[in-house]
Homo-oligomer: A and B are copies of this chain.
């Protein structure tokens, strides 16, 4: 039999994956959409590369949430499918995987599902393509292979068949006998995966994933209130089973733990003064690259520290300090209504005060200095007299993004929550080209202080790029497309985003054509949530690990463009490999 492998099985860029699959003797590949989207090569180029390597493109996947929907959703889904058929034609892939729907738009109606899948198969068949329908084990209405086969049989079209995936079949424990009733030519594709028997239950949750109070999602304050109301006078005791804590420095973990219980008795702590914005971010630089980039982005070297070799760069409300050093974000400073009180709270929470500095501040878990600024700090930076640049539309700082040491991710979230009084947002997880990444932001209620924390889900080894991961500083603009255009014209080192991203964006979210064209022209990325829209673009990595982002939030977009992060990571990685 011919042997294929899905690109999602392997680490690296799409080019790495194809080369590795060919070298191991595979006959074909399944191209996973995200691998293509982050690639700088067009589908036709990838198709040619596969042919050169002796690989057929056996499947394009996944196409989600298609069937059993109202007419308007169906129309949008068919449009989306046609865009993907375009991609498949260029790739030379003849079969598309359609997963059973998990969408809230779908209804429980096998006849409707069959009718709509038949429609999709007609469109596919007209282009010489086929639809392989797969029952996800967690599909909303269709979650067993025999159910998917009943729908395919009812759809009754030569370009419509089933895809059998051993995981989805065997994880459900469904009887296998019905497989024998499917004509072989209607099994369009066979995917194989093994898995350990796992009992993914509350016991596993308890044994591996507990956290110190304030690091997770439990409402422990209410819980504790109930217990204390009984007159309980024994100790508050932490009992936390956590895979990471089990292998990390116990002295640090114990301080983290103590911080968590101190925070539970919040009323006994000095209150957290209000924070009103990012005062500045300090970067350590070892060459001219960052200053040149800031200049090309419209920043002015406005001030120079009285005694230290520290430059103040400014544009709108965004302030960056450049210091000599090893090329990282060395400090973030927040505007505090009462810096001394902020410092007192930090001390009460066992955070190490910084010494030898003129501002009150503490060290964050990753070693970044966190300063509390009042009004006067700018007085340390007499004007350079440099003419004020007209700028490129940057108005302030949106967020600082810091990749955390593997052992200190939850510690960092608790540090910012307790010491600075910020609120942790919901964690997210996404698949980056070299492994999964977990991300969590902390912010204040006004959302003018935002810090994004990131960590690899598994500590990286020799193959996947590990420490130091890039860090970045995101500025705000009220017209990000104009800012991008101006910065392009000024020669800022902006990051180029591949065309595949925009083709996929068109298929997924269908932005107006003129907006899509502008996004594509200036390598601006786009995201959308219930609250609004998000436009953003990036620079290259400057020096060893810092880059800049410029963002525009339209409406109440709450996130940080995590869906686009893998595209950015792949682009940065490519430049690094190319020595760029």
Contacts and interface: CB of A to CB of B under 8 A. Distances in A.
Interface of A: 1-6, 8-12, 16-17, 19-21, 23-28, 30, 58-59, 137-138, 164-172, 176-177, 179-180, 182-185, 187-198, 200-206, 209-220, 222-224, 226-227, 229-251, 253-255, 257-258, 260-261, 264-265, 350, 406-407, 427, 431, 434-436, 456-464
A240 B179 CA distance: 22
A5 B237 contact: yes
Given A194-B217, A247-B434, A253-B20, A223 B170 contact: yes
Contacts of A201: 138, 200
B257 A9 contact: yes
17 contacts: A4-B235, A9-B245, A21-B254, A23-B255, A183-B230, A187-B227, A188-B234, A192-B220, A192-B236, A193-B210, A193-B213, A193-B239, A195-B205, A195-B210, A195-B211, A247-B434, A247-B436
Given A24-B257, A59-B237, A239-B8, A218 B230 contact: no
A226 to B, nearest CB: 4
A10 B251 CA distance: 8
Contacts of A243: 435-436, 457-458
A209 B232 contact: no
B10 A253 contact: yes
A5 B166 CA distance: 45
Copies of this chain held together in the complex: 2
A17 B254 CA distance: 8
Contact of A58 (B169, B235, B244): B235
A216 B188 CA distance: 25
Given A5-B238, A463-B247, A233 B170 contact: no
Contacts of A176: 222-223, 226
Contact of A198 (B209, B231, B462): B209
Given A194-B211, A254-B26, A264-B192, A179 B227 contact: yes
Nearest to A1: B236
B179 A27 contact: no
Contacts of A170: 218-220, 223
Contacts of A253: 9-11, 20
A215 B193 CA distance: 9
A5 B258 CA distance: 9
Contact of A6 (B213, B215, B218, B237): B237
Contact of A244 (B16, B166, B223, B458): B458
Given A23-B254, A24-B251, A202-B172, A196 B183 contact: no
A30 B237 contact: yes
Contacts of A462: 249
Contacts of A456: 247
A194 B236 CA distance: 13
Q: Which residue among A200, A234, A253, A431 has the maximum number of chain B CB atoms within 10 Å of its CB? A: A234
Q: Which residue among A203, A245, A246 has the maximum number of chain B CB atoms within 10 Å of its CB? A: A246
Contacts of A187: 227, 230, 232, 234
